[in-house]
Copies of this chain bind each other. A is one copy, B any other.
Amino acid sequence: MPDQAETRFTRIQQKNRDAILMAALTVFSAGGFKGSTIDQIAEAAGMSKPNVLYYFTSKDEIYQTLLQQLLATWLAPLRRLDPAGDPLNELLEYVRAKLCMARDFPHESRLFAHEILEGAPQLRDILTTKLKPLIDAKVAILNDWMNRGAIRRTDPHHLIFSIWALTQHYADFETQVHAVLGPGHDPYAEAEPFLNNLYRRMLTVDP
């Protein structure tokens, strides 16, 4: 690929890069970084291995590009948490949004899980420089809500962890969920009222 310092990508470049990233998401999310090969990505993208390496200089660059893209969309629902909104509704809406993301973007969830599970070799810095400040800000909002008595007092960090764990579980452990539920179940449809009820019970202040 020619040097592209200033110009935008051409139509073909855009199309092929997108195809590669889409294919790589599927492949990486299933097998992790080391468990996936450029050949698999190339086949899933419908092109030859050298052509994949014509648009990305290495397997690593594909993976990192994917993670960067992912992170932005992954944290969007949390960013939307509005300090001016109704506390309980804001939180229940956040839970709902995260559950929808697990349902609609399971590959993204599993890619992220793989990365963290292996010690976040690529994301470690970003977790402390980008994620922690964001969480700290949201924790402050939660603390404020709790101080005002709008929601029941509980550990705000672990409240956020619980939301992540309970929603992403359905994407990350999909195989297990399906095996245990057996056929004829829609895990996400069942999880929505379950989680809604759980957080409503937990966060509503006693009369």
Give residues in A with beta carbon < 8 Å to B.
Answer: 30-35, 110, 113-114, 116-120, 124, 127-128, 131-132, 135, 152, 154-155, 157-162, 164-166, 168-170, 172-173, 175-177, 179-182, 190-191, 193-194, 197-198, 201-202
Contacts and interface: CB of A to CB of B under 8 A. Distances in A.
A127 B175 contact: yes
Contact of A202 (B33, B34, B177, B202): B202
A162 B120 contact: no
A120 B16 CA distance: 32
Given A181-B157, A182-B132, A201-B201, A113 B118 contact: no
Nearest to A129: B179
Contacts of A34: 31-32, 34-35
Max count, chain B CB within 10 A of own CB: residue among A30, A32, A127, A158: A158
Nearest to A121: B175
Contacts of A173: 113, 116-117, 161, 164-165
Contacts of A31: 34, 118
Nearest to A173: B116
Nearest to A155: B194
Contact of A176 (B30, B127, B172, B176): B127
